[in-house]
Amino acid sequence: MRSIIGIELHIQVNRVGSKLFCSCPTNYYSAEANRNTCPVCLGLPGSLPVVNYSVIEKATRLALALSSRISGSLIFVRKHYFYPDLPKNYQISQYDRAGMVPFASGGYLDIGFGGSSKRIRIRRINIEEDPAKISYPEGDPLKSPYSLIDYNRSGMPLLEIVTEADMESSKEVRAFLEKILTLVDYLDICDPDLEGAFRVDANISIEGGERVEVKNIGSLRDVEKAINYELTRQRNIIRAGGSVKRETRHWDSARGVTVTSRAKEYEEDYRYFPDPDLPPIEITKEFIDNVSSNMPELPWVRAERFIESYGLSRYEANVLTSRRWLADYFENALKYYGNPSKLADLLINDFLGIVNEHGGSPRVVKGSPDKVGKLLSFLDRGVISIKILKQILPDVVLRDLDPEEIIRSRGLDVISDRSVIEKLVDEVFRENPKAVEDAKKNPKAINFLIGKVMAKTRGKAHPAIVREVVARKLRE
């Protein structure tokens, strides 16, 4: 039974100074509830919206990157529905029927999946406002005795990307989402790592059956889980001889199930009509050309450049360009350390591990790129061992401590004096005569002796010199 999946992705435009139709700040994440509000975003009678033109510029960037056709006129409409998070009882959005057009239509994004490429078509891109945030004390609207509403989010600018139903699995959906989120980061539209920065509505059906919409999924992991659960649920209904009904469901992440929310509305239920407070805005060719001429380097273009210019593998290039801040960090560190391969290895395998252990946000990174480059140069010069480097790295990354000062104050520099190492090896040989005889017969047993020498120096002895001295003395 073939799966058919399309998504509606809502991306917050959180890299602009104010909300979509008022001057309230967009940085509401740590603000006191209902503090970043005004008559406009609270929907009070008599208040009038004024468009934030920076959002239109961001939407233009996205449309150009996705090869979408930008409409010549931006028409805002009222989408009516009644819910506590929408004080006006309508959402200012866009529509693509009866003379009302979306901001952009068409376009595509190619995703790499299973060793091949697949094109996911874009149906439309809309500009709209975000509703408020409803919180349930029990985490479940059905179990909570009351609900709380925070209007700080009300009026936040959103870009809605609606795809065609071109995806057939949760893994394809995730690959699409990951690439889009990387793109909006590079286009300076959104910080996708912020809580609530994106939400997904997934339209899921089995070929020949009705479509079910699963709304407001807030993480990549939950998107995969929700789609997999819903596909299994629908297949089981069909196998049992039943039929899937058209409805809207929500994802209960605590229980790992989709739950009926309401019967699916049809478009006419929303009673769309042009917003009389917002006249059409002309999107001129000159405006589009100006935005186009100032487009940043796109992530997939940057990945190819990393491969060609720095000799990185595709995997390394894709990881390093998965977030703009990480790619910038890599290139800035290269100004102080000239081995791209070694630097990439450290950033991917150690640096990112430290960041992820502390929440995954780039905000935890205090250490400047030059300090990471300096640390690697100490390793190349034999000042420190790889073990010491990994010991020091968290302090460099999280506390911005100077590597040279750490090494000096903690006495971590490598012991490279051959006479000192010779004496240590002689001690180990005297203390472990049987291991010495074993190593003369079995070359692999040399590692035991090397380990004993390293233990005596608490890992500070230069490992290459230790190995060389041990091997020579075994031959004598």
Taken as a whole, the chain contains a residue count of 476
The answer on 180 and 97 residing in a single domain is yes
Range of the domain at 433: 418-475
Would you list the DSSP string of 67-111? Answer: TPEEPSEE--EEEE---TT-TTSEEEE---STT---SEE--EEEE
Phi first, then psi: give them for residue 167, nearest 5 degrees. -100, 150
Nearest to 111 by CA among 202, 163, 177, 176: 176
Give the integer Cα–Cα distance in Å for 116 and 370: 38
Give the integer Cα–Cα distance in Å for 11 and 198: 5
DSSP state of 196: T
User: E-strand spans in 283-434?
Assistant: none
pLDDT for res 27: 87
Q: Beta strand 157-163 with 77-80: parallel, antiparallel or unpaired?
A: unpaired
The answer on 280 and 198 residing in a single domain is yes
Among 4-13, 21-30, 81-90, 265-274, the minimum mean pLDDT is found in 265-274
Average pLDDT over residues 267-273: 81
The answer on 423 and 406 residing in a single domain is no
Nearest to 125 by CA among 101, 71, 89, 161: 161
Mean residue pLDDT across the chain: 91
pLDDT for res 266: 63
Residue 341 banded pLDDT, cuts 50, 70, 90 = very high
Residue 410 banded pLDDT, cuts 50, 70, 90 = confident
The answer on 63 and 158 residing in a single domain is yes
The answer on 306 and 273 residing in a single domain is no
Among 206-215, 244-253, 354-363, 465-474, the minimum mean pLDDT is found in 465-474
The answer on 314 and 453 residing in a single domain is no
pLDDT for res 459: 76
Give the integer Cα–Cα distance in Å for 450 and 308: 40
Nearest to 281 by CA among 90, 68, 43, 20: 20
Helix (H, G, I), strand (E, B) or coil at 202: strand
In the numeric block, which tokens belong to residue 226? 């929700």
Residue 264 banded pLDDT, cuts 50, 70, 90 = low
pLDDT for res 462: 77
pLDDT in tens, 89-141: 999 999 887 677 899 999 999 998 667 889 999 999 999 999 999 888 877 77
Nearest to 9 by CA among 222, 150, 161, 148: 161
The CATH number of whichever domain residue 451 belongs to comes to: 1.10.10.410
C-alpha distances out from residue 452 to 18, 294, 414, 445, Å: 62, 60, 16, 12
pLDDT for res 1: 82
pLDDT in tens, 176-189: 999 999 999 999 99
pLDDT in tens, 189-201: 999 988 889 999 9
Domain stops at, among 290, 316, 341: 290
Residue 30 scores a pLDDT above 60: yes
pLDDT in tens, 219-253: 999 999 999 999 999 999 999 999 999 999 999 88
pLDDT for res 424: 87
Q: 205 forms bridges with which residues in the sheet?
A: 4
The answer on 159 and 17 residing in a single domain is yes
Average pLDDT over residues 295-304: 96
pLDDT for res 421: 85
C-alpha distances out from residue 302 to 107, 258, 326, Å: 21, 39, 12
Average pLDDT over residues 30-36: 90
The answer on 423 and 387 residing in a single domain is no
Nearest to 354 by CA among 395, 401, 407, 412: 395
Q: Report the share of the chain in percent with pLDDT over 90.
A: 67
Residue 263 banded pLDDT, cuts 50, 70, 90 = low
Q: Tell me, what amino acid is at 221?
A: R
Question: How many CB atoms neighbour CB 258 within 10 A?
Answer: 25
The answer on 157 and 89 residing in a single domain is yes
pLDDT in tens, 41-86: 999 999 999 999 999 999 999 999 999 999 999 999 999 988 888 8
Sequence-distant (6+) residues with CB within 8 A of 195 are: 29
Number of domains in the chain: 3
Domain stops at, among 235, 259, 290: 290
- C-beta of residue 448 within 8 angstroms of C-beta of residue 435: yes
Residue 388 banded pLDDT, cuts 50, 70, 90 = confident
The answer on 275 and 324 residing in a single domain is no
Sign of CA dihedral 337, 343, 346, 348: positive
The answer on 368 and 250 residing in a single domain is no
Q: Report the share of the chain in percent with pLDDT over 70.
A: 97
Average pLDDT over residues 458-469: 82
The answer on 191 and 45 residing in a single domain is yes
